Amino acid sequence: METTLRGVGVSHGVAIGEVRHMGTAVLEPPAKQIPADEAEREQGRARQAVEAVAADLMARGNLAGGEAQHVLEAQAMMAQDPELIADVERRIAVGSTAERGVYDAFAAYRALLANAGEYLAGRVADLDDVRNRIVARLLGVPMPGVPDSDEPYVLIARDLAPADTALLDPALVLGFVTEEGGPTSHSAILARALGVPAVVALPGAGEIAEGTVVAVDGSTGEIFVGPSDEKRAEMEAAAAARKAALSATTGPGATSDGHKVPLLANVGGPADVPAAVEAGAEGVGLFRTEFLFLDDSKQAPSEEKQIAAYRAVLEAFPEGRVVVRVLDAGADKPLDFLTPADEPNPALGVRGLRSLLDHPDVLRTQLTALSKAAEGLPVYLEVMAPMVADRTDAKAFADACREAGLEAKFGAMVEIPSAALRARSILREVEFLSLGTNDLAQYTFAADRQVGAVSRLQDPWQPALLDLVALSADAARAEGKSCGVCGEAASDPLLACVLTGLGVTSLSMGAASIPYVRATLAKHTLAQCERAASAARAADTAEEARLAAQAVLSGE
């Protein structure tokens, strides 16, 4: 009998196949004591295991490339955290085995993260994966992971660590479903990059029996357990129609009546550029420069290194628009040379622009490097600041850009509700706005973007979030300036139409989503998008907003 379950769809497409479950977690090692004269040997074992796991994560990142590489490199740095290693060695010195010392030290750090604010709590799953890999190596047992199978399957897991998600083979893993996670979790982001249909935040997914046939709709978040022949045919037909629409629509983003909506790509560095170019991106709407800085948490990269990385991206889009976000450090991206180590709640503390204004030399070097990287290129460079709270922040950033001699447009990200509420004031100092809907939702609803239990509040269809988007777009229109969206909301084709109807002037997303958004926009007029936006804002819940917009755009 067919059963329907609903989670959060995070990666477009349909997958139909038998279920295979992720391997179980590493068992807790025994808490036995060792003689004092064995402590040094055990500490050496622990250090070797840590280095081996960090090297493996880096190797997996190099193999995967793109967005996955940045995520795995950050995870490798987590494994090598000096304070964490020191805690492991302290525990071994008083009698713990290497594996028990690692397990207990990570448990203590895990508790700190879970209670340290929204951003850091969202890294618990990554930390657990690092711990499991180190403990498995010390115990001499295989690390549980993606199951072996000669036949394609749908993968079900409690959660997927970046190291597993990054190397999924789309030829075998038709799609995946997780019990935890959210629309902006690492597994969701990497699923979109791989083009694998995915649904997250589905409680009870682990109870679906091995070998059961399921149909996964990564757009709606629906899972059909034991789908009927009719349901399978219906979903396969819809998937085929979607694929045909994608191949039939090319060129710049626009509504069916010619209203232009530039479709840009989110990139983390030069490795992400080829996929963006292949997808037909009209430029870059979010160049996340922090990944360049995360290569070494002890010091900022040299001006020369920054110039080379920036120029590689700028050269890929001649005559195109490239929007660069200056370093967004702090919270889940701490840097020893920049961010405080003792903040009680880093997500609400000194992060983003606040960190840069406290370290003007770092900001000045980055702005100078961007200026030099753009010299002689026909690209339209725009530079924006993260975590802008008010006009004072916007002015400080614009002044820093001018002092560095940067010939580019200066903009502000809208990630804090105050910036949306006072957008027109901020636009007196800068030339454009870019909405980071992931953080804007997080701060609007006090809902961690990585925690599945609050994923409904991270849903970009929330009417309150749409209201803040509308406020920002209205302010930009009144000032004769642009207002784009570079958060994950832009990757939802239906929501892209609503955002266009709200007055957003450009959309930026992962490269894999661009063809879907382009094809959907091309089917609707601007007036239809505006009516859909009004219907969505009139709703009371995210689900009602989505259904209301869908009804308008489908002509119901």
Q: Which of the residues are catalytic?
A: 186, 486
Instruction: Give the tokens for residue 452.
Output: 């599945």
| SS3 category, 247 | helix
Buried b (16+ CB within 10 A) or exposed e, 217-239: bbbbbbbbbebeeeebeebeeeb
| SS3 category, 301 | coil
Alpha carbon separation from 131 to 25, 40, 54, 524 (Å, rounded):
10, 21, 11, 49
DSSP state of 545: H
d(CA 49, CA 55) in angstroms, rounded, equals: 10
Q: What angle do CA 214, 218, 224 make, to 5 degrees?
A: 25
d(CA 360, CA 396) in angstroms, rounded, equals: 10
DSSP state of 142: P
Would residue 553 be called left, alpha or beta, if left means φ above 0 and alpha means ψ between -120 and 50 degrees?
alpha
- Of the CA atoms within 13 Å of residue 507, those in its CB half-sphere come to 33
Q: Which residue blocks in 65-123 are alpha helix, DSSP H?
A: 66-79, 82-93, 98-114, 118-121
Main-chain dihedrals φ then ψ at residue 264, nearest 5 degrees: -115, 170
Q: Write down the residue that tokens 């500490």 correspond to.
A: 43
What residue type is assigned to position 281 of the chain? A
One DSSP character per residue, 51-72 reads HHHHHHHHHHHHHH-HHHHHHH
| SS3 category, 311 | helix
Instruction: Give the tokens for residue 21.
Output: 């479950």
- Of the CA atoms within 13 Å of residue 469, those in its CB half-sphere come to 35
Q: Work out whether the CA dihedral 199, 202, 206, 210 comes out positive or negative.
A: negative
Q: Which residue blocks in 115-169 are alpha helix, DSSP H?
A: 118-121, 124-139, 162-165
Main-chain dihedrals φ then ψ at residue 487, nearest 5 degrees: -85, 175
d(CA 499, CA 537) in angstroms, rounded, equals: 11
Nearest Cα to Cα of residue 418 among 485, 475, 363: 475
Instruction: Give the tokens for residue 338.
Output: 């920049």
d(CA 131, CA 123) in angstroms, rounded, equals: 12
